[in-house]
Amino acid sequence: IFSQVKQAPADPILGLTDAFKADTRAHKVNLGVGIYKDEAGQTPVLSSVKKAEAKLLEIEKSKNYLGIEGVQAYNQVVQTLLFGENSDIVKQQRAVTAQAPGGTGSLRVAAEFLMSNTNSKTIWVSNPTWANHQNIFETAGLTVKQYQYYVAETHDMDFDAMITDLNQAEEGDIVLLHGCCHNPTGIDLNIEQWKTVAQLCLDKSLLPLFDFAYQGFGAGIEEDAQGLRAVADIVPELIVANSFSKNFGLYNERIGAVTLVAEDAQSALTSFSQVKKTIRSSYSNPPAHGGLIVSTILADAELRAEWEGELTEMRQRIAQMRTLFVETLKSEGVEQDFSFISRQNGMFSFSGLTKEQVNRLRDEFAIYIVGSGRISVAGLTKDNVPVVCKAIAQVL
Ligand code: LMR
């Protein structure tokens, strides 16, 4: 039976981490996967997380199963982070949330739920998008189509082209939107553009599905949710798949959530029964630890303030690295204009480097970036920026 199985291609992002680990060159640099590194090149556990874990260790009395939807206090704080304090959507109980394993798990639950329970079987994703989107949605059985988003020549987005493409979508189609810090381009919609997309979804009865994995990495926790909230004000129904891998540094705890907003409380509850059925058939109920960490931090004013400070520090360090990166490329004699990198949001910079240049960076300089030319700026440090820029200057 197994002899018929064909080799799968390496994952474009996590496969790169495997190749990086196997590389024996001491000076290697991994700017592939989106993981935050501090100035020392480490990814330490946040201090607010450590304190919450110490608290949990003390008070935990049982490892009993959670409900299918996970930690209830967690699901409430997720809704507040997404929609804000005093949100009408939350007050009217139009939102239902299930804790899920990371952004990927949340997206997969959403896709499986839609596939089994609705007529929404086609999803539109941006071109380009996160390398795992197509994999997740096709595995769940959805048809994946693309809308234009980014123009390589201008290093900018083409909003008109995005709208033209989305006008081809049919009633019930799903539109995948990156809540903030678009992965991989780092280019986000402005508030007027968000409203235009929302109106188009309303007019054509399209369902927005938000992938919201970088809240706090753009301009701030509240600021980064403005696009989602503007859309939620206009459309009657949407889904959000969010993740706390990055903003709480909880990568390996696999902690995220799927939140469904329906037209009314009854429709939300009915849909939620099917979301829970989807989860039960997949992983039954989520592991507790990540949800408990997040809800413990957000319920405690001191821990919350500490977390917000740590998140701000991460965001500011990445912004500094963007500036340093652009300046150092210039001082290495690169004539091409890379100033667009300073205007991009979040962990990534879409560099415009070609596949061939990416391969040379890996083979000749032991610098790993994603094949699309995406560089994890969050992995740059004052120490490795000169090395990386020198190498880029050479391959250019
Ligand atoms: C990334 O885009 O690098 C991250 O979201 C990690 C992942 O799972 O791909």
Whether 141 and 162 have beta carbons less than 8 Å apart is answered as no
C-alpha 249 – ligand 1 centre gap (Å): 13
Q: Which atom of ligand 1 is nearest to the CA of 183?
A: 2
Q: Is residue 307 flagged as an active site residue?
A: no
Which residue has the CA at smallest separation from atom 5 of ligand 1?
Answer: 34
Q: What is the pLDDT of residues 101-113, one digit of tens each?
A: 999 999 999 999 9
Structure tokens at 133: 């989107």
**Per-residue pLDDT, 325:** 96
* Alpha carbons 374 and 354: distance in angstroms, whole number: 10
Ligand 1 centre to CA of 55 (Å) is: 30
Identify the residue whose C-alpha is closest to ligand 1 atom 1.
34
Query: Mean of the per-residue pLDDT values for the chain?
Result: 97
Atom of ligand 1 nearest to the CA of 370: 3
| CA dihedral sign, ordered 42, 43, 48, 50 | negative
Which residues, in sequence order, are CB contacts of 24 under 8 Å at separation 6+?
Answer: none
pLDDT tens-digit map of 34-85: 999 999 999 999 999 999 999 999 999 999 999 999 999 999 999 999 999 9
Pocket of ligand 1 (CB under 6 A): 13, 33-34, 130, 132, 183
| Cβ within 8 Å of residue 58, ≥6 positions away | none
Catalytic (active site) residue 246:
yes
What is the CA(199)–ligand 1 centre distance, in A?
30
Under CATH, which architecture does the 51-301 domain have?
Answer: 3-Layer(aba) Sandwich (3.40)
pLDDT tens digits for range 136-155: 999 999 999 999 999 999 99
- Measuring from atom 9 of ligand 1, which residue has the nearest CA? 13
Domain boundaries, the chain: 2-44+312-395, 51-301
Q: What percent of the chain has pLDDT over 70?
A: 100
Centre of ligand 1 from the C-alpha of residue 184, in Å: 10
At the fourth CATH level, the homologous superfamily of domain 2-44+312-395 is Aspartate Aminotransferase, domain 1 (3.90.1150.10)
How large is the ipTM? 0.95
pLDDT at 377: 95
* pLDDT, tens only, 190-246: 999 999 999 999 999 999 999 999 999 999 999 999 999 999 999 999 999 999 999
The pLDDT of residue 161 = 98
Ligand 1 atom nearest 102 alpha carbon: 8
- Please tell me the distance between residue 60's alpha carbon and the centre of ligand 1 in angstroms: 31
Catalytic residue (choose from 124, 130, 194, 307): 130
Helix (H), strand (E) at residue 257: strand 256-261
Q: At residue 21, what is the residue type? A: K
At 38 the pLDDT is: 96
**Cα separations (Å) of 369 from 14, 28, 260, 261?**
11, 11, 34, 37
* pLDDT recorded at residue 245: 98
211 is catalytic: yes
What pLDDT, on the 0 to 100 scale, is given for residue 165? 98
pLDDT of residue 279: 98
Which residue of the set 211, 224, 276, 307 is catalytic? 211
Q: Probe ligand 1: pick from 33, 181, 377, max atoms within 8 Å of CB?
A: 33
pTM score: 0.97
Residue 100's pLDDT band (cuts 50, 70, 90): very high
Q: At which residue do the structure tokens 């919201």 appear?
A: 212
Query: pLDDT band at residue 3, thresholds of 50, 70 and 90?
Result: very high
Closest atom of ligand 1 to CA, residue 376: 3
Work out the angle at residue 233's Cα, subtended by the Cα atoms of residues 156 and 348, and round it to the nearest 5 degrees.
Answer: 30
Based on the number of CB atoms within 10 Å of its own CB, is 205 exposed (0-12), middle (13-18) or buried (19 or more)?
Answer: middle
CA of 132 to the centre of ligand 1 (A): 8
